[in-house]
Amino acid sequence: MTTTALWATVLIASLACFALKLGGHLVPRTWLASERVTRVTALVTVALLVSLVVVQGFADGNTLTVDARVPALAVAALALALRAPFILVVVLAAGTAAALRALGWG
């Protein structure tokens, strides 16, 4: 790709991505006011977050893998069940994965 084509690609794609974000913000509020939409939105939130856990915890590109992230997530779940604060959950997960990798696994 030439430098000009590369810059054009970067700028056009960035503009398109910004337009998508702004489009969501410009959805009329009246569309979002009904009880049914509220219910759906609450469930969509759960689905998005759970899906992000799966992607961030088990995906390696297009492959599903079990590596140091999985025990780290188990530690995080245990900490959450014991009502640990947010930052502790995150630090415990990072520490678990880092320690396992330092030991040569995952």
Partner 1 sequence: MNVLPTPPAARAAVRQGLSVSVATGLYGVSFGALSVAAGVGLGPTMALSLLMFSGGSQFALIGVVGAAGTPVAAIATATLLGLRNTLYGAVVSPLLQVRGWRRLAAAHVTIDESTAVAVAQPEPAASRIGFWVTGLGVFVLWNTFVLLGALAGDALGDPRAWGLDAAAAAAFLALVWPRLAPRRAQLVAGLAVVATAALIPFVPPGIPVLAAAAVAVVVGLVAPAAAPSDPESGPDSQPSSQSSSQREDAR
Region 20-49 residues binding partner 1, contact defined as CB under 8 A: 20-27, 29, 32, 35-36, 38-49
* Residue 21 backbone class (left: φ over 0; alpha: ψ -120 to 50; beta: rest): alpha
Among 66, 78, 82, 91, binds partner 1 (CB under 8 A): 91
Largest CA distance in the chain: 55
Q: How far apart are alpha carbons 14 and 84 in whole angstroms?
A: 39
Distances (CA, A) of 53 to 46, 68, 70, 105: 11, 14, 10, 21
In the complex, minimum distance from the CB of residue 58 to partner 1, in angstroms, rounded to a whole number: 7
In the complex, minimum distance from the CB of residue 2 to partner 1, in angstroms, rounded to a whole number: 10
Of 71-90, which residues contact partner 1 (CB under 8 A)? 72-73, 76-77, 80, 83, 85-87, 89-90
Among 53, 66, 78, 105, binds partner 1 (CB under 8 A): 53
